[in-house]
Amino acid sequence: MRKIEPAVFFPAAILVFVGVAYSVLAGDQAEQIFRNIQVAITETTGWLYSVGVGFFLVALLIVAFSDWGRIKLGPDDSQPEYGFGPWFAMLFSAGMGIGLMFFGVAEPLTHYLVPPEGDPETVEAARQAIVLTFFHWGVHAWGIYVVVGLSLAYFSFRHGLPLTIRSALYPLIGDRIHGWMGHTVDTIAVLGTLFGVATSLGFGVTQINAGLNTLFDVPISEPVQLLLIVVITGFATLSVVAGLDAGIKRLSEINLYLAIGLIAFVFLTGPTLFLISAFVQNIGDYLDQFATLTFNLDAYGDGEWVGSWTLFYWGWWISWSPFVGMFIARISRGRTVREFIFGVLIGPTLFTFFWMTVYGDSALRLALAGHADAMLDTVRNGTSELALFAFFEHLPLTPIISTVAVILVATFFVTSSDSGSLVKSTLASGGSLEPPVSQRLFWALLEGVVAAVLLVTGGLAALQSATIAAALPFTLVLILAFFGLLRAWSLETARRAGRKTAAQLPVEGAAMPWKARLKNMFSRPTSAEVDTYIADTVATALTEVADELRSYGYEVEQEAGEGLASLRVKDEEKPEFLFRVERIAYPAPYFSTPEAETGELSKADADSDYARAEVFLSDGGQHYCVYGFSKVQIIREVLRNFERHLQWLYHIEHT
């Protein structure tokens, strides 16, 4: 695998500098242009976001419960590279991280103060605020990530395609993913990942600054925030050098332990019984309003709230999906499709719901009691990064838990930067699972530089709006890629069925000569010919097997008739064994033969029916034909299936 894919690396790097330069030089004009584009998209095609996200969730659940859920993301004998604990920790850190810290208190209070419907600052407003927060941070976000991650992991680990966004389009454009189309898709993914992570990091340092201000009266200013970016980017580069296992994995586990410790402290020192009741009720309210919220576009209103919140979030999650999807694909080799879907959808979502309940409901309870003026003022004044630390003022050991919160935001910062660098390096190296450290360092440092420059020049808001606007075309890509994934799974199912239903001829001395077997494949016996074969060959073979089984003390029943011969081994206490060959007639063959293609068949042959001598066992039809087998071969086929039956009985008795 090459260290750099020039057609992706250089265009992406150049466009990063161009984008940053435009945001810096154009300033407010750039922000206004991007914001207008964002508004136009949400007003005209916002329905596509809602329909697309809703479709993904329904389709993923169907896939998870179907037979496709057993498909491995890798060879059939592959095992998960990471245990569930480290895997979940990396999912959690990459997917939500800083956002939970920033919005855990701020978003419920915002909806409480400015609800989409009803009166503000009421019990009903508080109840609805939590449901809306659940809605924006729940399974919808993770469903988007699952589609990207599942496509990439499947095509990369099972079919050997590069671990890049282009591979998700393979069922649609085939080998052209290796040309300019694929390069363009990966370049766009690099840009989206870098700008998305950079804007998130820019907002993350404002919260770290707010925590330091609360703890040590450090002024909230750009110089302080620039210094924080430099320091934390330095830690991110150290994590890059350490590698995936020693870097991201270890930090992600630290993140998870700190997050669990912090939330446990708030849960136990806060209104614990109220939070337990609220968590249960919140999930019930969320499920009750799930469909309504999913497809709500405020068609009978002005749509302003939906556009500013729900559609904004959907666009934001979609814009982040190349980054998060690629990362969770990278760490999910060896898992089944079912494990991947449920693990990514349910695990992080439940943790997020509990987090939002503990922080959000605790803050709302204080607000309803009239003890949250400081917190509410932070939201009203547009300084939401202070809301979390204003909330900590109501808990014991405020300095300690505030310090832990600052450390947690910082470690989230580092893991986001490092995992983002890993993803961009993978894209820019043509899908290498172990991209060179030098390239990961380049992207990690560039993220810090971009975040710092945009923070100073005020370009973060402009790029945020641009990222959301860019989510529209990627939504179409996701929909097409998902249908391509379904098509690939359908082909795999057909291939498995072919292996299962093909007649497994014996390979010992009585094996059918290969020329006779090939002739058998293209034979078109009539019903009369199959009936004669079953009566003369199959019935005779089953009689010999039955006589021998009776000598071993088995109770055996036989049945013979027109186009039918069967053998049944009965047992009063155990499941019985059945082997039946039955004539099944069809109006036309399943395949074309050379004679049919060239017109050499006679009209009588073409008009005659086509029949197969198909095998049936206790669990139903096996859909393979034994017409043309010799008597010895039929006997061997019976014994092969009977041996499997005995092995199954042994397994039942010893498990």
Cβ-based burial of 188 (10 A; exposed 0-12, middle 13-18, buried ≥19):
buried
Question: Would you place residue 598 in the very low, low, confident or very high pLDDT band (cuts 50, 70, 90)?
Answer: very low
Where b means 16+ CB within 10 Å and e means fewer, 321-350 reads: bbbbbbbbbbbbbbbbbbbbbbbbbebbbe
> Is the pLDDT score of 599 beyond 70?
no
* Contact between residue 173 and residue 508 where contact means Cβ atoms under 8 Å apart: no
Distance between CA atoms of residues 612 and 527, nearest Å: 8
**Whether residues 65 and 180 fall in one domain:** yes
**Whether residues 170 and 281 fall in one domain:** yes
In tens, the pLDDT along 106-154 reads 999 999 999 998 999 999 999 999 999 999 999 999 999 999 999 999 9
Residue 49: enclosing H or E segment and its boundaries?
A: helix 28-65
- The per-residue pLDDT for 590 is 44
What are the structure tokens assigned to 545, written together? Answer: 């097997």
**Whether residues 475 and 548 fall in one domain:** no
Residues 424, 427, 431: CA angle, nearest 5 degrees: 135
- The per-residue pLDDT for 337 is 95
For helices 123-137 and 337-356, angle between their N-to-C axes, nearest 10 degrees: 150
Supply the DSSP string of 235-255, one letter for each residue: HHHHHHHHHIIIIIIHHHHHH
Which residue from 605, 608, 586 is spatially nearest to 596, judged by alpha carbons? 605
Supply the DSSP string of 444-492, one letter for each residue: HHHHHHHHHHHHHHT-HHHHHHHHHHTHHHHHHHHHHHHHHHHHHHHHH
Which has more pLDDT, 654 or 448? 448
DSSP state of 369: T
Distance between CA atoms of residues 491 and 41, nearest Å: 36
* Contact between residue 192 and residue 321 where contact means Cβ atoms under 8 Å apart: no
- The per-residue pLDDT for 476 is 82
Residue keyed to tokens 């019903």: 527
Tell how far CA 38 is from the center of its chain: 26
* Contact between residue 49 and residue 216 where contact means Cβ atoms under 8 Å apart: no
**Whether residues 291 and 354 fall in one domain:** yes
- The per-residue pLDDT for 383 is 85
What's the CATH code of the domain at 473?
1.20.1740
Residue keyed to tokens 């400015």: 114
* Contact between residue 383 and residue 110 where contact means Cβ atoms under 8 Å apart: no
Cite the DSSP H helix spans in 334-436. 337-356, 362-368, 373-380, 387-392, 398-428
Residue ranges making up the domain that contains 148: 6-487
pTM of the shown model: 0.76
**Whether residues 122 and 269 fall in one domain:** yes
Is 23 inside a domain boundary?
A: yes
**Whether residues 472 and 339 fall in one domain:** yes
Residue keyed to tokens 């002739």: 519
Distance between CA atoms of residues 587 and 608, nearest Å: 8
Distance between CA atoms of residues 341 and 630, nearest Å: 48
> Is the pLDDT score of 603 beyond 70?
no
In tens, the pLDDT along 20-77 reads 888 778 777 777 787 787 778 777 888 888 899 999 999 999 999 998 999 999 887 7
* Contact between residue 251 and residue 414 where contact means Cβ atoms under 8 Å apart: yes
Is 508 inside a domain boundary?
A: no
- The per-residue pLDDT for 490 is 82
Is 280 inside a domain boundary?
A: yes
Domain termination residue (choose one: 487, 522, 555): 487
- Across the range 274-294, mean pLDDT stands at 96
Which has more pLDDT, 176 or 620? 176
What are the structure tokens assigned to 92, written together? Answer: 């959690």
Say which residues have a Cβ less than 8 Å from residue 420's Cβ, sequence separation at least 6.
193, 194, 197, 323, 443, 444, 447
Residue keyed to tokens 């179409």: 476
- The per-residue pLDDT for 244 is 58
- Across the range 10-23, mean pLDDT stands at 87
Cite the DSSP H helix spans in 574-620. 594-598, 603-607
Question: Would you place residue 247 in the very low, low, confident or very high pLDDT band (cuts 50, 70, 90)?
Answer: low
Is 503 inside a domain boundary?
A: no
Residue keyed to tokens 């332990």: 257
- Give me the amino acid identity at 28: D
Q: Under DSSP, is residue 75 helix (H, G, I), strand (E, B) or coil?
A: coil
- Count, residues in the chain: 655
Distance between CA atoms of residues 609 and 623, nearest Å: 18
Is 497 inside a domain boundary?
A: no
- The per-residue pLDDT for 133 is 96
Is 498 inside a domain boundary?
A: no
Distance between CA atoms of residues 622 and 65, nearest Å: 23
Which residue from 145, 107, 139 is spatially nearest to 126, judged by alpha carbons? 107
- The per-residue pLDDT for 170 is 82
Which has more pLDDT, 391 or 655? 391
Number of structural domains (the chain) is 2
* Contact between residue 236 and residue 421 where contact means Cβ atoms under 8 Å apart: yes
Is 259 inside a domain boundary?
A: yes
For β-strands 577-586 and 610-617, DSSP reports them as antiparallel
- The per-residue pLDDT for 507 is 44
303: left (phi over 0), alpha (psi -120 to 50) or beta: left
**Whether residues 519 and 483 fall in one domain:** no
> Is the pLDDT score of 648 beyond 70?
yes
Helices (H) and strands (E) in the chain — how many of each? 28, 5
- Give me the amino acid identity at 624: Y
Query: What percent of the chain has pLDDT above 70?
Result: 88
**Whether residues 451 and 535 fall in one domain:** no
**Whether residues 446 and 521 fall in one domain:** no
Cite the DSSP H helix spans in 502-599. 514-521, 527-533, 539-551, 594-598
Which residue from 418, 526, 387 is spatially nearest to 104, judged by alpha carbons? 387
In tens, the pLDDT along 370-414 reads 999 999 999 999 888 899 999 999 999 999 999 999 998 888 878
Is 232 inside a domain boundary?
A: yes
- The per-residue pLDDT for 246 is 59
Which residue from 493, 581, 507, 586 is spatially nearest to 542, judged by alpha carbons? 581
Question: Would you place residue 361 in the very low, low, confident or very high pLDDT band (cuts 50, 70, 90)?
Answer: very high
**Whether residues 223 and 331 fall in one domain:** yes
Domain termination residue (choose one: 469, 487, 505): 487
- The per-residue pLDDT for 359 is 96
Which has more pLDDT, 477 or 283? 283
Distance between CA atoms of residues 496 and 109, nearest Å: 53
Give all strands of the β-sheet with 610-617 in edge-to-edge order: 555-561, 564-570, 577-586, 610-617, 620-625
Listed range (50-54, 480-484, 525-529, 617-621) with the worst mean pLDDT: 617-621
- The per-residue pLDDT for 94 is 63
**Whether residues 243 and 292 fall in one domain:** yes
**Whether residues 475 and 558 fall in one domain:** no
Listed range (280-284, 424-428, 599-603) with the worst mean pLDDT: 599-603
